Each structure stands twice: as C-alpha cells, then as structure tokens.
Amino acid sequence: MKRSPRFVVVGAGMAGLLSAIKLDEAGFTDVTVYEKADRLGGTWRENTYPGVACDVPSHLYSYSFAPNPDWTHVFSPGAEIREYLEGVARRHGVDQRIRYGTEVTRMEHRDGRWGIETAGGPRDEADVVIAATGVLHHPSLPDIDGLDDFAGATFHSARWDHGATLEGARVGVVGTGSTAVQLVGALVDTVGELHLFQRTAQWVLPVPNRPFTDEERALYRAEPGTMRALRDELSKTFTEGFANAVVDAESPQVKMLQELCRANLENSVADPDLREKLRPNYRAACKRLIISPNFYEAIQRPNARLVAEGIDRVERDGIRTVDGRLHELDVLVLATGFRVDRFLRPIEVVGRDGVALNTVWAKRPSAYRSVSIPEFPNLFMLNGPNGPVGNFSLIDVAELQFAYVMQLIERLAGGGCRELCATEEATERFEAERVEAAKNTVWVTGCRSWYLDDRGVPAVWPWSFDRFREEMAAPRLEDYELVE
C-alpha cells in the first residue's frame, strides 16, 4: 500500500535545502526543515570572514539542477554563495518549509516513528529524518594557555567579529588552512601588521581567481548549455585530477600536483629563509590542498610576518612563542578549523530499543556508506561520517547521496517496508574495507590533518569518486534490514 510519510530535515544548509527540493519534486509534501539559526545557508551564513570564498570553481559548486549564469568569479565569495542558496530555496518554494530559530535537541525512535524535540520549542514526529547538520560546523578552538588573558578581540574565523577594528591594527592569525590563507590575502592590505602563526607549512596550488566578464555571463544566460558543458568539464577535471588521484598515493596526478606546488614555492618566494619556513615536510595533497592565487605574494609584503616558531602562550598583549619572543597584537583570529567528528551531535539521538548514538559512536562516528546507521531506522545522513571530502564539490556528493536515499524512501513510501536501516554486518564489512583501502591513500603518507581520526586512519571515503558514484547509483538492499 502506498504511504505518504512525514519528513523532518534537520539543517537548512546546502544539503538540507537539496533534500527539501528533491522531496518536493518527488511529490512528498509533508516536510518540515528545522534550522537553528535565523537564516538559511549553513557554512555560507556562518563564515563571513574577509576573503571567504569557495575553492572549488563556482560553476561546479552549484546544484546540477540550478546552474547560475551570474557567478562573478571563478571562485565566488561566500556571501554570493549564500545568496545563491537563498535564491534557489525561494524559486523552489522550500523556504516556506523552514522553521528558523528551532534547534533539534533530541530524536528518539519509538513505535516506528521519530519523536523530535526542539530547544524550548514544539515537539514533532516524523516517519523519516534527513540529517543535514553539516560537517565543518562546530568551531575547533585551540588549547593554548592564556587565551582568555588577551586584551584585544579574539574570535574564531567562523564567528567573525565585524565590530573589531582591522584598519592599521596588528592582527594575528593562528592556523594555515584554507581559511587562514584566504584571510592573509584579504587582510594584508588593510591591517597594520599581519602575523601568521604557522604550526604546519602548506603546499599551495596557484589557481587564478578571475572575474567573469559581462559577455561570459550573457552567454551563460542565453545558452545554458554552455554552463552545463562547463560544469561537466570541471567535474571531470576535479574527479580525475583530485578525487580519483589522492586515493592512490603513487598516481601520476599526485606527483603532478606535487611538482606544481613545488614550482609555485620555488618561483614565488624570493627570500630563501622564508621559502624554507614555508616548505612542507610531507607530500602535496596529504593535507587538503590549499588553492590560492596570492598567498605567497601576500606573506612577502613588508607588513606580513610568518611566525613558524611554536606558540608558547597567549598574554595580555599578544602571543609569546617558544623562543621567548612576544608578538604584540591588537586582534587575534583563530583560523583553527572545525570539530569534524560531531556530525549529528550534540543532538541526543536514540534509536531502536533505547540505543544511544553517543554510545554507538563513543569511539568515533561511522555509518554504512556514510548514510545509514544500524538500529537507527529511517534516519539518513547527508555529508555524514566517512564520506568523500577533499578538493571537489560537496554539492556533487550530497546530490549523489540524496538520489541514493531517495530510492530507499521510495521503498518506504511504496509500502515495500515500514522501516529500514543498514545491517550491523554490512556496516562492519564496509568499515573494515574502508580502513584497509585507506592505507593506499596520500593522506597517510606522513602528515597530521583533519582527515585523520584518533587512530590516524583517514575518516573519509578512501576510494575513487567514480566508485562513489557507482555505489550511490543503487542501494544494495541485501545490506539493509527491512522491517514490515
């Protein structure tokens, strides 16, 4: 018998919006999206730091069903991406489904349905929950002595203090990931002094970020086919050049990336001492590769300083490094990334028979093919644990995952079963294969990165993107427990 399930989507970022749009298209209308903030956009709402932009080309970092002729740059700024997401949500009418300012705090599976509790708000029930709560979402704050003693403004890059005065100020940036590199390029012209505190040097791939011309935008508008062709071409380049390559540490593409990054360092940094400080002691792409057209140029400006000595502590007037030197600062920015092991948490999730997700994930999060967890029926994750992450579009990843999840939903709605989730056995098998495959990847060739879990195993999809696409094409139902 056909059923019309009730859906709750948690999170109105890129993946939550995608879910609402696709459910709507499939004719599922009983859908509520809970978003704890007062605006949609997730990452692109939260990160408002100077220089924030995607580092995957905008025409690839777009939904396949909503190409955008108006991207201003090859890598467009964060605010433009947020506006794009808002526009797509509006055009597809799903902004109406979002309940803002409503944080989901608890979900319990009881009598075949999910009971949902929100912070100080209403309770709800759903047959199916789509968790789109994000991966780079909970800021990771460094454990540095004296952080509270600093007299000036201190904030994480994802919580930018727009009241802090930057003009002429002495600004310290802690961290050397993609965000820190974007910040350095954007701040160096404004601030008095820029101090970049580097624990680990990074390989940097120089890719120009040129604006699109009016003519190009007019062409994309008039002939959308050209945009689709561009997206396909970019997808192929990123799949073959990055995603498929990094899972084989010996691949020619990884060697080529290494060579391009090395040449960039040699040719762009004039001072030999600075060049050596900026030279990583591990292989390119072991950490997520930094894409930047101007980092080396910016860090060589007279008002920029690279501080490669370790941080001893933060004091009232600045940062003291282990060599005893005090670097006096007015503003301190922590570009120290995110807690990537949170996923659904801190939501308290209770599955069948009182099984708590916190217990199941006590050591580390895992999931069958990153979307389903045994004993947590009809709960599907987008951008969940151990999925593909790297230098390619997470929109592509979420679209493939949702198309896969939709096939499971159709099964539920078609009356084939009432509940489904991956089996324990299939999940364990998948996890064992994943850990084994991770041994061949470039991520385990001798660096510390946010890809690695507490055991040093990359907590990501260790196979090619082509394989991901194949596996997401159709669920293997024998790996699922179907309950009538």
Ligand X SMILES: Cc1cc2nc3c(=O)[nH]c(=O)nc-3n(C[C@H](O)[C@H](O)[C@H](O)COP(=O)(O)OP(=O)(O)OC[C@H]3O[C@@H](n4cnc5c(N)ncnc54)[C@H](O)[C@@H]3O)c2cc1C
Region near ligand X per CB under 6 A, out of 55-63, 86-94, 362-370, 475-483 = 55-63
The reply on whether position 13 binds ligand X by CB under 6 A is yes
Strand partners, 9: 33, 130
CB nearer to ligand X: pick between 234 and 409? 234
Ranges within 382-401 binding ligand X (CB under 6 A): 382-383, 393-394
380, 368, 369, 386: which is closest to 406 by C-alpha? 380
268, 298, 265: which is closest to 181 by C-alpha? 298
CB nearer to ligand X: pick between 15 and 88? 15
Of 12, 307, 314, 426, the one binding ligand X by CB under 6 A = 12
CB nearer to ligand X: pick between 35 and 127? 35
Of 34, 242, 343, 443, the one binding ligand X by CB under 6 A = 34
Q: What's the min distance (Å) between Cβ of 324 and ligand X?
A: 34
Of 132, 286, 332, 421, the one binding ligand X by CB under 6 A = 132
> Binding residues for ligand X, how many (CB under 6 A)?
32
Q: What's the min distance (Å) between Cβ of 72 and ligand X?
A: 15
Ranges within 364-383 binding ligand X (CB under 6 A): 382-383
Token pair recorded at residue 303: 């008002």
The reply on whether position 330 binds ligand X by CB under 6 A is no
Which residue reads 């799903």 in tokens?
94
Q: What's the min distance (Å) between Cβ of 402 and ligand X?
A: 11
The reply on whether position 61 binds ligand X by CB under 6 A is yes
Q: What's the min distance (Å) between Cβ of 417 and ligand X?
A: 27
Positions touching ligand X (CB under 6 A) are: 10-16, 34-37, 42-43, 47, 52, 54-56, 61, 103-104, 132-134, 136-137, 179, 347, 382-383, 393-394
